[in-house]
Amino acid sequence: MELEAAIRTRRSQHRLIDPAPSDEEFVDLLGWAATAPDHGHLRPWRWILVRGESRAALGAAFASGAPDAEAVQREARKPLRAPLLATLVLVPQRNHRVPDWEQLAASSAMVNSLMLLLHDRGFGSMWRTGPSVDSTGPRLLLDLAPHERIIGWLYVGTPDPTRRSVPRTPVPVGHRVSLFTPPRPASAGARIAEGITSPVP
C-alpha cells in the first residue's frame, strides 16, 4: 500500500476481532515505527502487550476506580473490544537535555507510524486513553515505576467486516497556516524621528 493511500484509508476501528498480530509481528512493525523522529534517539517508551484472559485482569483494574456499579461493568468490558491491547508506557529520561515534552512527542510520532504500518498489514487499531491512564489500578497491575506513565492503549485486531467504513475527507486547515514575512526596516527619516538611530554622516 502506498503511503498516501494508507493515510487516506486508515480509520480508528471501534470494533476489532481476531486475528491480531503475533508478538513477533508486532515487534517487527515496531522496529520500523521506531524510526519516527526522535530527538536524541532516546526511545523513551516501552510496550506491554495484553492478550487473552489477561484482558479481564486489565478490565478489573479499569473498574477499580469506577464510581458506581454501572461504570464498573462498562470499564470491565473495555479491554474485550479487541484481541490485543498494546499498552504504551512513557519512560522519560529525566534531567536530560531533551525535555519531557519532546520525549512525549517522539513517542506519539512512533505510535502514528505504527498505526499506519498495522493498517498496511491489514490490521485495525484505535488509540484509547481516558481516566484509566492515571488511575492506580492499572499502574499497580502493570507494575509501573514511579517515573513511568501510561499514555494510552492501542487496541489492535482485524477490522470487523460487517461494519461500514465512513469515507475520510481532508481536514480544512488553511486557516491554521500562515506565511511569515519579516517587517520592512523603517526609512532613515522615520528612524531618526522615532529616536532609534542617528543619521549617517
Cβ atoms of residues 59 and 76 within 8 Å: yes
**Pairing outcome for strands 45-51 and 84-90:** antiparallel
Burial of 105 (0-12, 13-18, 19+ CB in 10 A): middle
Q: Determine the pLDDT at residue 188.
A: 57
Q: What is the DSSP letter of 104?
A: H
Prior bond to 21 cis, omega within 30?
no
Q: What is the pTM of this model?
A: 0.87
Cβ atoms of residues 55 and 79 within 8 Å: yes
Q: Determine the pLDDT at residue 73.
A: 95
Please state, in angstroms and rounded to a whole number, the distance separating the CA atoms of residues 82 and 93. 31
Residues 57, 61, 64, 69, Cα dihedral to 10°: -50
Look up residue 128 and give its three cell numbers.
484509547
Q: What is the CA radius of gyration of the chain?
A: 24
Averaged over successive runs of 10 residues, the pLDDT of the chain (201 residues) comes to 88 95 98 97 98 97 91 95 98 94 97 97 96 94 97 96 84 96 77 54 49
